[in-house]
């Protein structure tokens, strides 16, 4: 049974403020874990109360092993409120994620979440451009699925980049994307099956993928697709250099953009202030916490490190 960390009413999808009252502590159960090249894993956890509250852009804080007190933040890739599960993609790069990758089906693990301010979840422009890099791909899948189910008149395009093989088997897309070279035809099968166009950029010279940065694909589409820029807005998640490039694209093409930041965290509930970034507000510059004031920020307001 999940326990709220504080009393209060959970936020609705349009909430713009962090709500610690909505964060739950629950015991989850591993339903599946699939390994992919590049030491990547997709884990499905049964955790009904948290799955029912998860929104695109929110994340969970997992206890990876019994001997590790420090949790690890993981973006939610998909969530089913009806079936009560969460999917997360992660890459092994240290002791915590290595222990998490060693978990077996049926294992229990402590889950804290959902945490953070999500992407704006409605009232989008007609042609959302979703850009995900590496372990920043999961929130884009969750957001695309949310857009598809919303009933709004939107046609998202999802662009994904990775320096390692993708955590799925790319296939040639059935959906054409004007403005992008016809030879760049590889797509994520799940999105293609949903009727959502996607294209891939890779540093691995994979067949059908753009050989280069995902932001190069975004620039090509913005420059050559013929889609009016007043119909486009950007949503992105990925490593900081990619987000800086997205920030520059948004400024160059005068597009609104929301960025979900990746940051190391200790408590992840706003107590330690170890994940702060500088943000421009109406009252002047301020330091905001990525965990609860974000992880989603307006591109025009956040000062990215480096």
What is the pLDDT at residue 172?
98
Q: Report the pLDDT value the prediction gives residue 272, as an integer from 0 to 100.
A: 78
* pLDDT of the residue at 7: 29
CATH code 3.40.50.80 for 127-257: yes
pLDDT at res. 6? 38
> Do 127-257 and 3-115 have the same topology in CATH?
no
pLDDT for position 276: 87
Domain ranges within the chain, ordered by starting residue: 3-115, 127-257
For the segment(s) 3-115, the CATH number from 2.40.30.10, 3.30.565.10, 3.40.120.10, 3.40.1190.10 is 2.40.30.10
The DSSP annotation for the chain comes to --EESS-SPPPPTT--S--GGG-EEEEEEEEEEEEETTTEEEEEEE-HHHHHH--TT-EEEE--STT--S-EEEE-SEEETTTTEEEEEEE--SHHHHHHHT--TT-EEEEEEEESB----S---SEEEEEEEGGGHHHHHHHHHHHHHH--S---EEEEEESS--SS--EE-SS--TTS-TT--EE-HHHHHHT-EEEEEESS--TTSEES-HHHHHHHHHHHS---GGGEEEEEES-HHHHHHHHHHHHHTT--EEEEPP---SSSSSSS-TTEEEEEETTEEEEEETTTT-BEEETTTEE---
Q: Running along the chain, 306 residues long, what does each successive block of 10 average in pLDDT?
A: 42 41 90 95 97 96 86 94 96 92 96 94 97 95 97 97 94 97 97 98 93 97 97 97 97 98 75 84 89 92 88
């Amino acid at each position: 049974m999940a326990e709220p960390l504080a009393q209060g009413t959970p936020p609705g999808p349009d909430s713009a403020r962090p709500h610690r009252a909505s964060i739950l502590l629950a015991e989850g159960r591993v339903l599946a874990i699939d390994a992919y090249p590049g030491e990547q894993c997709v884990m499905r956890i049964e955790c009904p109360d948290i799955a029912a509250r998860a929104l695109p852009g929110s994340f969970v804080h997992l206890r990876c092993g019994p001997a590790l007190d420090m949790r690890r933040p993981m973006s939610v890739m998909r969530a089913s409120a009806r079936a009560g599960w969460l999917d997360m993609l992660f890459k092994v790069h240290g002791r915590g994620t290595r222990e998490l990758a060693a978990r077996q089906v049926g294992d229990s693990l402590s889950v804290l979440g959902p945490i953070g301010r999500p992407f704006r979840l409605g009232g989008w422009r007609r042609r959302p451009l979703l850009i995900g890099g590496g372990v920043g791909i999961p929130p884009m899948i969750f957001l695309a699925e949310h857009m598809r189910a919303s009933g709004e008149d939107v046609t998202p395009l999802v662009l994904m980049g990775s320096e390692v093989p993708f955590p799925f088997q790319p296939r040639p897309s059935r959906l054409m994307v004007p403005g992008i070279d016809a030879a760049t035809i590889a797509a994520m099968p799940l999105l293609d099956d949903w009727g959502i166009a996607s294209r891939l950029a890779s540093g691995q010279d994979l067949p059908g993928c753009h050989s280069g940065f995902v932001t190069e694909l975004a620039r090509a589409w913005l420059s050559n697709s013929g889609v009016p820029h007043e119909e486009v807005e950007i949503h992105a998640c990925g490593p900081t250099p990619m987000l800086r490039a997205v920030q520059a694209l948004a400024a160059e093409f005068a597009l609104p953009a929301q960025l979900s930041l990746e940051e190391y965290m200790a408590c992840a509930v706003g107590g330690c202030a170890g994940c702060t970034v500088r943000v421009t507000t109406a009252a002047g510059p301020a330091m905001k916490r990525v965990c609860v004031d974000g992880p989603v920020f307006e591109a025009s307001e956040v000062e990215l490190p480096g």
